[in-house]
Amino acid sequence: MHHLQTLGVLALAALLSAGCQRRSSVSSSSGQSDQTTEAQPSATTTARKPGDREPIPNTTPPGSRMDPSQNAYIVFDGSGSMSGQPIQEAKRAVSAFVKGAPDDLNIGLFVFDANSYSGREVAPLGRGDDQRKHLLEQIQTISAGGGTPLGGAIQTGSEALIAQFQKQLRYGDIRLIVVTDGMASDSNRFERGIAFARANHVPIYTIGFRIRNAHPLRKYSEAYLTASDEQELLDAMRETLAELDDDAVIDL
C-alpha cells in the first residue's frame, strides 16, 4: 500500500511537471508571437506609401557636396516674331542682367533662334568672370528666326537645374526664367515639359515680352511678369531674383 502511494505521488509529480513544461512552452511561443506582432506595425509605419515621391530624386552624383548656391537658368526666345527692335532690346536687357547679377549666382542659358530652330544650350550653369564673358558673347550671337519650341527648352532647363540641385545635395535654390514673346510651337512637348517641371517642383518665372494677352505659362509659373520695353524687361528679370539678393545692382 505504501508502495502504491509512493507511485501515485511520483505520477502526480510527473504530470504536474509536464503541465508546467507545456505552459512554459505555450508562454514562450506566445511571447514570440507578441514580439512578431509588435514588429510588424513598426515596419508598416516606416514603409514609403506607393504614391509617395521626392519632389527631386535624392541622389549624390560624383563630385556632390553641400552647397547653398543659387541657380538661375534662362530660356531666351529668339523666334522670328522677335525680329528687329525686340530682339535687340531683349539682348541688351539679358546682357545687363548677367553683368549685374549676384557674384554667387550660377547662370545657364538656353536659346532658340535662327541659328538653331529646335534650340540649344549655349551656356551650362556656372559662375565667375569666364562664365559671364562666355554668356555675354553668346547673347550677341542670337539672331531672330524660327518658331517657339518652349517645351523642349523648359525640359532641358528643368533637367539642368535638377542635376545641379542634386550636386549641391539639395541645398540652395533653383529657378527657371523664361523670356518669351509668343505661344509654344511644340504644343505636345510643351505639355510634357510643363508636367516634368511641375512633377519635380522646378519653379518657373515667366516674363512675357511685348505680349498683349496672357501667356499659357501664366497658370504654371511661380511668378508671371510682363514687359513692353528694354527697361521693363530688365526690371522683370531683376524681380525674379528679388528675394535672393536685395543688394544686387542691375542697370542698363
pLDDT per residue of the chain (252 residues) written in tens, 0 to 9? 444 343 343 343 443 344 444 444 433 333 443 333 333 333 223 344 444 445 566 667 777 888 899 999 999 999 999 999 999 999 999 999 999 999 999 999 999 999 999 999 999 999 999 999 999 999 999 999 999 999 999 999 999 999 999 999 999 999 999 999 999 999 999 999 999 999 999 999 999 999 977 899 999 999 999 999 999 999 999 999 986 644 433 334
| The predicted structure's pLDDT at residue 13 | 42
Output the nine-digit C-alpha cell for 250: 542691375
Amino acid in the structure at residue 29: S
Nearest by Cα to 210 from 121, 57, 83, 33: 83
What percentage of the chain's residues is helix, strand, coil (to nearest 5)? 50, 20, 35
CATH number of 70-239: 3.40.50.410
